A and B are shown apart, each in its own frame.
Chain A
Amino acid sequence: MRHENLFMGDQIMYRIYRRTNLSVSLAALAFACTAGLPALAQTAGATSAPTAPTITDGTRLFEDFGGKPGLVKIMDDFMDNLLADSRTKPFFAPADQAHIKAMLVEQFCQILNGGCVYSGKDMATAHAGMGVTEGDFYALVEDLQKAMNKNHIPFASQNRLLAALAPQHRDIVEK
Protein backbone atom coordinates (compact mmCIF):
# COMPACT_ATOMS: atom_id res chain seq x y z
CA MET A 1 0.00 0.00 0.00
CA ARG A 2 1.72 3.17 -1.19
CA HIS A 3 0.85 6.77 -0.33
CA GLU A 4 3.04 8.72 -2.68
CA ASN A 5 0.83 11.79 -2.61
CA LEU A 6 0.36 12.03 1.11
CA PHE A 7 1.59 15.54 1.86
CA MET A 8 1.96 17.05 5.28
CA GLY A 9 -0.90 19.47 4.69
CA ASP A 10 -3.17 16.49 4.81
CA GLN A 11 -2.58 15.89 8.51
CA ILE A 12 -6.02 14.49 9.29
CA MET A 13 -5.88 11.87 6.62
CA TYR A 14 -2.39 11.00 7.74
CA ARG A 15 -3.47 10.55 11.35
CA ILE A 16 -6.34 8.32 10.28
CA TYR A 17 -3.88 6.35 8.22
CA ARG A 18 -1.49 6.08 11.15
CA ARG A 19 -4.25 4.97 13.51
CA THR A 20 -5.46 2.35 11.07
CA ASN A 21 -1.93 1.18 10.70
CA LEU A 22 -1.53 0.94 14.48
CA SER A 23 -4.70 -1.08 14.95
CA VAL A 24 -3.63 -3.39 12.15
CA SER A 25 -0.28 -3.79 13.91
CA LEU A 26 -1.94 -4.49 17.26
CA ALA A 27 -4.31 -7.00 15.71
CA ALA A 28 -1.35 -8.64 14.01
CA LEU A 29 0.57 -8.71 17.29
CA ALA A 30 -2.35 -10.34 19.10
CA PHE A 31 -2.64 -12.82 16.28
CA ALA A 32 1.10 -13.45 16.25
CA CYS A 33 1.06 -14.08 20.00
CA THR A 34 -1.67 -16.69 19.69
CA ALA A 35 -0.83 -18.23 16.35
CA GLY A 36 2.86 -17.37 16.08
CA LEU A 37 2.75 -16.93 12.32
CA PRO A 38 6.11 -15.88 10.85
CA ALA A 39 4.44 -14.67 7.66
CA LEU A 40 3.12 -11.65 9.54
CA ALA A 41 6.49 -9.97 9.16
CA GLN A 42 5.24 -8.82 5.79
CA THR A 43 2.27 -6.95 7.29
CA ALA A 44 4.29 -4.67 9.61
CA GLY A 45 3.23 -1.08 8.83
CA ALA A 46 4.34 0.10 5.40
CA THR A 47 4.20 3.87 5.03
CA SER A 48 5.59 5.79 2.12
CA ALA A 49 5.10 9.51 2.71
CA PRO A 50 7.50 12.15 1.33
CA THR A 51 9.09 12.14 4.76
CA ALA A 52 8.41 10.93 8.28
CA PRO A 53 5.47 12.34 10.28
CA THR A 54 5.95 15.48 12.36
CA ILE A 55 6.55 14.83 16.05
CA THR A 56 3.84 16.97 17.61
CA ASP A 57 3.95 16.03 21.30
CA GLY A 58 5.78 19.01 22.81
CA THR A 59 7.87 21.84 21.42
CA ARG A 60 11.23 21.23 23.13
CA LEU A 61 12.57 18.83 20.54
CA PHE A 62 13.30 21.42 17.85
CA GLU A 63 15.05 23.57 20.48
CA ASP A 64 17.12 20.56 21.58
CA PHE A 65 18.52 20.53 18.05
CA GLY A 66 19.33 24.24 18.19
CA GLY A 67 16.55 25.25 15.81
CA LYS A 68 17.31 25.69 12.14
CA PRO A 69 20.87 27.03 12.65
CA GLY A 70 21.58 23.95 14.79
CA LEU A 71 20.31 21.65 12.03
CA VAL A 72 22.50 23.43 9.47
CA LYS A 73 25.58 22.80 11.62
CA ILE A 74 24.61 19.16 12.19
CA MET A 75 24.17 18.60 8.45
CA ASP A 76 27.60 20.11 7.72
CA ASP A 77 29.19 17.64 10.16
CA PHE A 78 26.94 14.83 8.94
CA MET A 79 28.04 15.35 5.33
CA ASP A 80 31.68 15.48 6.41
CA ASN A 81 31.17 12.14 8.14
CA LEU A 82 29.39 10.61 5.15
CA LEU A 83 32.26 11.61 2.86
CA ALA A 84 34.87 10.29 5.30
CA ASP A 85 33.04 6.95 5.67
CA SER A 86 34.09 4.49 2.94
CA ARG A 87 30.67 2.85 3.16
CA THR A 88 28.69 6.01 2.39
CA LYS A 89 31.20 8.02 0.36
CA PRO A 90 30.29 6.36 -2.98
CA PHE A 91 26.71 7.63 -2.63
CA PHE A 92 27.48 11.19 -1.59
CA ALA A 93 30.77 12.12 -3.26
CA PRO A 94 29.24 12.45 -6.76
CA ALA A 95 26.01 14.04 -5.48
CA ASP A 96 24.98 17.68 -5.07
CA GLN A 97 25.98 17.86 -1.43
CA ALA A 98 24.72 21.38 -0.78
CA HIS A 99 21.28 20.41 -2.08
CA ILE A 100 21.18 17.22 0.01
CA LYS A 101 22.12 19.17 3.14
CA ALA A 102 19.44 21.79 2.46
CA MET A 103 16.83 19.08 1.90
CA LEU A 104 17.87 17.27 5.08
CA VAL A 105 17.59 20.49 7.10
CA GLU A 106 14.12 21.02 5.67
CA GLN A 107 13.09 17.44 6.28
CA PHE A 108 14.40 17.23 9.85
CA CYS A 109 12.96 20.69 10.61
CA GLN A 110 9.54 19.46 9.51
CA ILE A 111 9.78 16.21 11.50
CA LEU A 112 10.91 18.15 14.59
CA ASN A 113 7.89 20.43 14.29
CA GLY A 114 10.08 23.41 13.44
CA GLY A 115 7.56 24.89 11.02
CA CYS A 116 9.27 23.95 7.77
CA VAL A 117 7.73 22.17 4.82
CA TYR A 118 9.90 19.56 3.15
CA SER A 119 9.96 20.32 -0.57
CA GLY A 120 12.13 17.43 -1.74
CA LYS A 121 11.37 14.09 -3.32
CA ASP A 122 9.83 11.27 -1.36
CA MET A 123 12.36 8.80 -0.03
CA ALA A 124 11.51 5.99 -2.46
CA THR A 125 11.99 8.23 -5.49
CA ALA A 126 15.13 9.87 -4.10
CA HIS A 127 16.83 6.50 -3.56
CA ALA A 128 15.46 4.49 -6.50
CA GLY A 129 18.04 2.33 -8.22
CA MET A 130 20.89 3.30 -5.88
CA GLY A 131 21.27 -0.20 -4.47
CA VAL A 132 21.39 0.95 -0.85
CA THR A 133 21.98 -2.01 1.47
CA GLU A 134 20.87 -2.32 5.07
CA GLY A 135 24.53 -1.89 6.02
CA ASP A 136 24.73 1.40 4.08
CA PHE A 137 21.59 2.58 5.86
CA TYR A 138 23.05 1.77 9.30
CA ALA A 139 26.34 3.42 8.32
CA LEU A 140 24.41 6.60 7.57
CA VAL A 141 22.64 6.38 10.94
CA GLU A 142 26.00 6.04 12.67
CA ASP A 143 27.40 9.06 10.82
CA LEU A 144 24.32 11.05 11.82
CA GLN A 145 24.65 9.96 15.46
CA LYS A 146 28.28 11.10 15.48
CA ALA A 147 27.30 14.46 14.00
CA MET A 148 24.56 14.89 16.61
CA ASN A 149 26.96 13.93 19.40
CA LYS A 150 29.50 16.46 18.12
CA ASN A 151 26.78 19.10 18.35
CA HIS A 152 25.82 18.01 21.87
CA ILE A 153 22.26 17.03 21.02
CA PRO A 154 20.79 15.21 24.05
CA PHE A 155 20.89 11.45 23.40
CA ALA A 156 17.19 10.95 24.20
CA SER A 157 16.27 13.69 21.70
CA GLN A 158 18.52 12.09 19.08
CA ASN A 159 16.65 8.83 19.58
CA ARG A 160 13.26 10.51 19.13
CA LEU A 161 14.39 11.81 15.75
CA LEU A 162 15.95 8.48 14.75
CA ALA A 163 12.77 6.63 15.77
CA ALA A 164 10.83 8.88 13.38
CA LEU A 165 13.37 8.32 10.58
CA ALA A 166 13.94 4.57 11.00
CA PRO A 167 10.82 3.40 9.07
CA GLN A 168 12.26 5.14 5.98
CA HIS A 169 14.42 2.03 5.59
CA ARG A 170 11.47 0.51 3.73
CA ASP A 171 11.80 3.11 0.96
CA ILE A 172 15.60 3.42 0.99
CA VAL A 173 17.05 -0.07 1.47
CA GLU A 174 16.77 -2.39 -1.50
CA LYS A 175 15.94 -5.96 -0.59
Chain B
Amino acid sequence: MTSKIWTSAAFAALTGCVCAPAMAQTAGMSDRLLLTGGVSEVEGAAGGGLTPWALIGGYGTRDQLGASGYYTHVDTDDYSLESFGALLAVNDRVEFSISQQRFNLQDVGASLGLGSNYKIDVTTYGAKVRVLGDAILEQDSWIPQVAVGVLYKDNNRDTLVKSLGADHSDGADFYVSATKLLLAHSLLLNATARLTRANQFGILGQSGDYKPEFEGSAAYLLTRKIAVGAEIRTKPDNLAGLKEDTAYDAFVAYAPTKNLAVTLAYADLGNIVVGDQRGLYISLQAGF
Protein backbone atom coordinates (compact mmCIF):
# COMPACT_ATOMS: atom_id res chain seq x y z
CA MET B 1 0.00 0.00 0.00
CA THR B 2 2.77 2.37 0.90
CA SER B 3 4.17 1.90 -2.58
CA LYS B 4 0.88 3.12 -4.01
CA ILE B 5 1.04 6.26 -1.94
CA TRP B 6 4.53 6.82 -3.21
CA THR B 7 3.33 6.22 -6.72
CA SER B 8 0.83 9.03 -6.20
CA ALA B 9 3.47 11.31 -4.74
CA ALA B 10 5.92 10.48 -7.52
CA PHE B 11 3.23 11.16 -10.12
CA ALA B 12 2.50 14.52 -8.52
CA ALA B 13 6.19 15.39 -8.45
CA LEU B 14 6.62 14.22 -12.03
CA THR B 15 3.77 16.29 -13.33
CA GLY B 16 5.30 19.30 -11.63
CA CYS B 17 8.95 18.72 -12.48
CA VAL B 18 8.80 17.10 -15.90
CA CYS B 19 5.86 18.92 -17.40
CA ALA B 20 6.81 22.42 -16.29
CA PRO B 21 10.05 22.58 -18.32
CA ALA B 22 8.33 20.85 -21.26
CA MET B 23 5.63 23.50 -21.12
CA ALA B 24 8.16 26.31 -21.16
CA GLN B 25 9.08 25.29 -24.71
CA THR B 26 5.52 25.76 -25.95
CA ALA B 27 3.72 29.03 -26.54
CA GLY B 28 2.73 29.39 -22.91
CA MET B 29 1.10 27.71 -19.99
CA SER B 30 -1.87 28.01 -17.67
CA ASP B 31 -3.71 30.26 -20.08
CA ARG B 32 -7.27 29.14 -19.30
CA LEU B 33 -9.31 31.35 -17.00
CA LEU B 34 -9.40 31.06 -13.21
CA LEU B 35 -11.48 28.18 -11.79
CA THR B 36 -12.34 26.84 -15.26
CA GLY B 37 -10.51 23.63 -14.44
CA GLY B 38 -12.79 23.08 -11.45
CA VAL B 39 -11.18 21.77 -8.29
CA SER B 40 -10.21 18.19 -7.42
CA GLU B 41 -13.15 16.03 -6.45
CA VAL B 42 -12.76 13.44 -3.74
CA GLU B 43 -11.88 10.70 -6.27
CA GLY B 44 -9.12 12.78 -7.87
CA ALA B 45 -10.80 13.92 -11.09
CA ALA B 46 -11.35 17.59 -11.90
CA GLY B 47 -14.80 18.60 -10.77
CA GLY B 48 -16.58 19.83 -7.71
CA GLY B 49 -16.02 18.23 -4.34
CA LEU B 50 -18.11 15.09 -4.74
CA THR B 51 -18.46 14.68 -8.47
CA PRO B 52 -16.38 14.86 -11.63
CA TRP B 53 -17.16 17.59 -14.16
CA ALA B 54 -16.74 17.56 -17.92
CA LEU B 55 -14.07 20.26 -17.50
CA ILE B 56 -10.50 19.06 -17.90
CA GLY B 57 -8.30 19.81 -14.88
CA GLY B 58 -5.43 22.26 -14.76
CA TYR B 59 -5.25 25.43 -16.81
CA GLY B 60 -3.83 24.15 -20.09
CA THR B 61 -5.49 25.23 -23.34
CA ARG B 62 -5.97 23.08 -26.44
CA ASP B 63 -2.24 23.64 -27.15
CA GLN B 64 -0.96 23.16 -23.60
CA LEU B 65 -0.48 20.70 -20.77
CA GLY B 66 -2.00 21.17 -17.36
CA ALA B 67 -1.50 19.48 -14.03
CA SER B 68 -2.53 19.74 -10.43
CA GLY B 69 -2.08 18.02 -7.10
CA TYR B 70 -4.43 18.19 -4.15
CA TYR B 71 -5.00 17.26 -0.54
CA THR B 72 -8.50 16.99 0.91
CA HIS B 73 -9.56 16.33 4.47
CA VAL B 74 -13.13 15.54 5.49
CA ASP B 75 -13.91 15.27 9.17
CA THR B 76 -17.31 13.67 9.84
CA ASP B 77 -19.10 12.67 13.06
CA ASP B 78 -17.40 9.27 13.34
CA TYR B 79 -14.70 9.13 10.68
CA SER B 80 -12.15 11.12 8.81
CA LEU B 81 -11.34 10.86 5.14
CA GLU B 82 -8.12 12.03 3.56
CA SER B 83 -7.81 12.17 -0.18
CA PHE B 84 -4.78 13.25 -2.13
CA GLY B 85 -3.48 12.82 -5.63
CA ALA B 86 -2.56 14.43 -8.89
CA LEU B 87 -3.80 14.80 -12.41
CA LEU B 88 -2.19 15.46 -15.75
CA ALA B 89 -4.17 17.10 -18.54
CA VAL B 90 -3.24 17.06 -22.22
CA ASN B 91 -4.52 19.70 -24.67
CA ASP B 92 -7.66 20.40 -22.61
CA ARG B 93 -8.87 17.09 -23.99
CA VAL B 94 -7.67 14.17 -21.86
CA GLU B 95 -7.13 13.96 -18.13
CA PHE B 96 -5.31 11.22 -16.21
CA SER B 97 -5.54 11.11 -12.44
CA ILE B 98 -4.23 9.00 -9.61
CA SER B 99 -5.33 9.44 -6.05
CA GLN B 100 -5.60 7.81 -2.69
CA GLN B 101 -8.64 7.83 -0.41
CA ARG B 102 -7.71 7.03 3.19
CA PHE B 103 -10.73 6.34 5.35
CA ASN B 104 -10.00 6.38 9.08
CA LEU B 105 -12.50 4.45 11.22
CA GLN B 106 -11.28 6.20 14.39
CA ASP B 107 -13.25 4.82 17.40
CA VAL B 108 -15.57 2.80 15.17
CA GLY B 109 -12.52 0.69 14.31
CA ALA B 110 -12.12 -0.24 17.98
CA SER B 111 -15.80 -1.06 18.43
CA LEU B 112 -15.65 -3.36 15.38
CA GLY B 113 -12.62 -5.11 16.87
CA LEU B 114 -10.32 -3.75 14.17
CA GLY B 115 -8.40 -1.43 16.44
CA SER B 116 -8.67 2.30 16.90
CA ASN B 117 -7.89 4.43 13.86
CA TYR B 118 -8.14 1.44 11.53
CA LYS B 119 -7.71 2.68 7.97
CA ILE B 120 -9.09 1.58 4.64
CA ASP B 121 -7.10 2.76 1.64
CA VAL B 122 -8.54 3.02 -1.84
CA THR B 123 -6.27 3.91 -4.74
CA THR B 124 -8.20 5.43 -7.63
CA TYR B 125 -6.95 5.57 -11.19
CA GLY B 126 -8.93 7.93 -13.40
CA ALA B 127 -9.12 8.83 -17.06
CA LYS B 128 -11.45 11.35 -18.66
CA VAL B 129 -11.89 12.42 -22.26
CA ARG B 130 -13.73 15.49 -23.45
CA VAL B 131 -15.88 14.32 -26.35
CA LEU B 132 -17.99 17.35 -27.21
CA GLY B 133 -18.50 21.06 -26.72
CA ASP B 134 -16.74 23.83 -24.83
CA ALA B 135 -18.38 24.85 -21.54
CA ILE B 136 -16.66 28.23 -21.43
CA LEU B 137 -16.36 29.62 -24.97
CA GLU B 138 -19.59 28.52 -26.67
CA GLN B 139 -21.77 31.09 -24.92
CA ASP B 140 -24.31 31.36 -27.75
CA SER B 141 -25.00 27.64 -27.73
CA TRP B 142 -26.87 25.42 -25.29
CA ILE B 143 -24.62 22.47 -26.01
CA PRO B 144 -22.67 21.66 -22.86
CA GLN B 145 -19.15 20.34 -22.66
CA VAL B 146 -19.45 16.57 -22.39
CA ALA B 147 -16.81 14.18 -21.11
CA VAL B 148 -16.73 10.47 -20.44
CA GLY B 149 -14.56 8.95 -17.78
CA VAL B 150 -13.61 5.93 -15.76
CA LEU B 151 -12.50 5.67 -12.14
CA TYR B 152 -10.91 2.35 -11.17
CA LYS B 153 -10.86 1.81 -7.42
CA ASP B 154 -8.39 -0.53 -5.78
CA ASN B 155 -9.36 -1.25 -2.17
CA ASN B 156 -6.68 -2.67 0.14
CA ARG B 157 -9.04 -4.31 2.66
CA ASP B 158 -10.29 -7.26 0.67
CA THR B 159 -11.14 -9.49 3.64
CA LEU B 160 -12.88 -6.77 5.63
CA VAL B 161 -15.10 -5.44 2.83
CA LYS B 162 -16.09 -8.98 1.83
CA SER B 163 -16.97 -9.79 5.44
CA LEU B 164 -19.29 -6.75 5.35
CA GLY B 165 -21.02 -8.21 2.29
CA ALA B 166 -19.11 -6.78 -0.67
CA ASP B 167 -18.76 -9.06 -3.70
CA HIS B 168 -15.44 -7.55 -4.74
CA SER B 169 -12.94 -5.20 -3.17
CA ASP B 170 -12.01 -3.49 -6.45
CA GLY B 171 -14.01 -2.15 -9.36
CA ALA B 172 -14.58 0.60 -11.86
CA ASP B 173 -17.11 3.42 -12.15
CA PHE B 174 -18.01 4.75 -15.59
CA TYR B 175 -19.45 8.22 -15.98
CA VAL B 176 -20.58 10.83 -18.45
CA SER B 177 -20.56 14.47 -17.35
CA ALA B 178 -22.13 17.50 -18.97
CA THR B 179 -20.94 20.93 -17.81
CA LYS B 180 -22.11 24.34 -18.95
CA LEU B 181 -21.02 27.79 -17.87
CA LEU B 182 -24.01 30.12 -18.22
CA LEU B 183 -21.71 33.11 -18.15
CA ALA B 184 -24.40 35.75 -18.63
CA HIS B 185 -25.88 34.42 -15.36
CA SER B 186 -22.50 33.81 -13.67
CA LEU B 187 -23.64 30.24 -13.16
CA LEU B 188 -21.93 26.92 -13.78
CA LEU B 189 -24.04 23.76 -13.94
CA ASN B 190 -22.93 20.15 -14.07
CA ALA B 191 -24.78 16.88 -14.36
CA THR B 192 -23.07 13.52 -14.14
CA ALA B 193 -24.52 10.07 -14.72
CA ARG B 194 -22.43 7.28 -13.26
CA LEU B 195 -22.64 3.53 -13.68
CA THR B 196 -21.39 2.09 -10.44
CA ARG B 197 -21.63 -0.70 -7.92
CA ALA B 198 -19.32 0.93 -5.40
CA ASN B 199 -20.33 0.86 -1.75
CA GLN B 200 -19.66 4.19 -0.02
CA PHE B 201 -17.46 5.58 -2.82
CA GLY B 202 -15.66 2.20 -2.98
CA ILE B 203 -14.47 2.39 0.62
CA LEU B 204 -16.62 -0.66 1.38
CA GLY B 205 -15.86 -2.43 -1.89
CA GLN B 206 -18.23 -3.30 -4.71
CA SER B 207 -21.57 -5.14 -4.70
CA GLY B 208 -24.45 -6.12 -6.92
CA ASP B 209 -25.04 -5.03 -10.49
CA TYR B 210 -24.05 -1.77 -12.12
CA LYS B 211 -26.70 0.88 -11.55
CA PRO B 212 -27.00 4.42 -12.89
CA GLU B 213 -26.58 7.15 -10.30
CA PHE B 214 -27.03 10.89 -10.68
CA GLU B 215 -24.76 13.69 -9.56
CA GLY B 216 -25.36 17.41 -9.91
CA SER B 217 -23.48 20.60 -9.11
CA ALA B 218 -24.38 24.26 -9.32
CA ALA B 219 -21.83 27.01 -8.72
CA TYR B 220 -22.39 30.75 -8.71
CA LEU B 221 -19.41 32.94 -9.58
CA LEU B 222 -19.11 35.79 -7.08
CA THR B 223 -15.88 37.16 -8.52
CA ARG B 224 -13.22 35.98 -10.93
CA LYS B 225 -11.65 34.12 -8.01
CA ILE B 226 -14.55 32.96 -5.83
CA ALA B 227 -17.38 30.52 -6.51
CA VAL B 228 -20.05 29.24 -4.14
CA GLY B 229 -22.27 26.27 -4.78
CA ALA B 230 -23.88 23.02 -3.82
CA GLU B 231 -23.78 19.42 -4.95
CA ILE B 232 -25.77 16.24 -4.75
CA ARG B 233 -24.62 12.68 -5.42
CA THR B 234 -26.86 9.65 -5.28
CA LYS B 235 -25.22 6.34 -4.40
CA PRO B 236 -26.16 2.68 -4.65
CA ASP B 237 -27.48 0.90 -1.56
CA ASN B 238 -26.27 -2.65 -2.02
CA LEU B 239 -24.96 -3.74 1.38
CA ALA B 240 -27.61 -5.52 3.44
CA GLY B 241 -28.13 -3.84 6.80
CA LEU B 242 -25.68 -1.03 6.05
CA LYS B 243 -27.95 1.59 4.54
CA GLU B 244 -26.32 4.04 2.15
CA ASP B 245 -27.69 7.53 1.42
CA THR B 246 -27.40 10.39 -1.02
CA ALA B 247 -24.50 12.76 -0.32
CA TYR B 248 -24.71 16.55 -0.39
CA ASP B 249 -22.36 19.45 0.07
CA ALA B 250 -22.31 23.23 0.00
CA PHE B 251 -18.99 24.82 -0.88
CA VAL B 252 -16.99 27.95 -1.44
CA ALA B 253 -13.94 27.75 -3.69
CA TYR B 254 -11.28 30.44 -3.79
CA ALA B 255 -8.49 30.62 -6.36
CA PRO B 256 -6.17 33.53 -5.49
CA THR B 257 -3.92 32.51 -8.40
CA LYS B 258 -3.87 29.82 -11.08
CA ASN B 259 -1.41 27.89 -8.96
CA LEU B 260 -3.58 27.60 -5.89
CA ALA B 261 -7.18 26.89 -4.92
CA VAL B 262 -8.79 26.41 -1.54
CA THR B 263 -12.19 24.78 -1.18
CA LEU B 264 -14.20 24.79 2.03
CA ALA B 265 -17.40 22.79 2.24
CA TYR B 266 -19.94 21.36 4.57
CA ALA B 267 -20.69 17.82 3.51
CA ASP B 268 -23.44 15.39 4.45
CA LEU B 269 -22.42 11.92 3.32
CA GLY B 270 -25.48 10.20 4.79
CA ASN B 271 -25.33 7.02 6.83
CA ILE B 272 -22.01 5.17 6.84
CA VAL B 273 -22.47 1.99 8.95
CA VAL B 274 -22.99 3.70 12.33
CA GLY B 275 -25.01 6.81 11.49
CA ASP B 276 -25.24 10.01 9.54
CA GLN B 277 -21.87 11.51 8.67
CA ARG B 278 -21.70 15.27 8.39
CA GLY B 279 -18.76 17.56 8.67
CA LEU B 280 -16.28 20.01 7.30
CA TYR B 281 -14.44 19.45 4.06
CA ILE B 282 -11.28 21.36 3.28
CA SER B 283 -9.25 20.95 0.13
CA LEU B 284 -6.06 22.54 -1.15
CA GLN B 285 -5.04 22.32 -4.78
CA ALA B 286 -1.83 23.41 -6.42
CA GLY B 287 -1.10 23.23 -10.12
CA PHE B 288 -0.88 25.02 -13.42
Q: A residues touching B (Cβ–Cβ < 8 Å)?
A: 18, 21-22, 25-26, 28-29, 32, 36-38, 40-41, 44-45, 47, 87, 133-136, 138-139, 141-142, 145, 149, 155-156, 159-160, 162-164, 166-167, 169
Contact = CB atoms under 8 A, between A and B. Distances in A.
A138 B143 contact: no
A135 B186 contact: no
A155 B32 contact: no
B30 to A, nearest CB: 9
Nearest to B176: A36
Interface residues of B, number: 33
B196 interface: no
A155 B61 contact: no
B146 interface: yes
Contact of A167 (B33, B63, B137): B137
B65 to A, nearest CB: 12
For the residues of B in contact with A, the DSSP-based class is loop
Contacts of B164: none
Given A38-B131, A41-B132, A159-B221, A138 B139 contact: no
11 contacts: A18-B140, A29-B142, A44-B143, A47-B140, A135-B32, A135-B61, A138-B32, A138-B61, A163-B139, A163-B183, A166-B140
A37 B223 CA distance: 35
A45 B142 CA distance: 9
B33 to A, nearest CB: 6
Given A45-B138, A138-B33, 7 more contacts: A22-B142, A38-B131, A138-B31, A139-B31, A141-B33, A149-B224, A167-B141
A18 B175 CA distance: 33
B139 A133 contact: no
B179 to A, nearest CB: 13
For the residues of A in contact with B, the DSSP-based class is helix
B24 interface: no
Contacts of B61: 133-135, 138
A133 B63 contact: yes
A161 B184 CA distance: 8
Contacts of A26: 142
B141 A25 contact: yes
B55 to A, nearest CB: 14
B62 A134 contact: yes
Contacts of A136: 31
A159 B186 CA distance: 6
Contacts of A22: 142
A155 B143 contact: no
A155 B139 contact: no
Interface string B109-145: 0000000000000000000000111101111111110
Contacts of A142: 33
Contacts of A32: 132, 143, 146
A144 to B, nearest CB: 11
B183 A169 contact: no
Contacts of A45: 138, 140-141
Contact of B141 (A44, A139, A145): A44
Nearest to B226: A155
Contacts of A160: 183-184
A166 B32 CA distance: 13
Contacts of A25: 141-143
Contacts of A166: 136-140, 183
Nearest to B182: A163
Nearest to B145: A41
B27 interface: yes
A134 B63 contact: yes
A168 to B, nearest CB: 9
B225 to A, nearest CB: 10
A44 B186 contact: no
A95 B186 CA distance: 33
Q: Which 4 A-B pairs have the closest CB atoms?
A: A135-B31, A163-B183, A163-B184, A166-B139
A40 B133 CA distance: 8
A162 B63 contact: no
Contact of B224 (A21, A87, A145): A145
B198 to A, nearest CB: 23
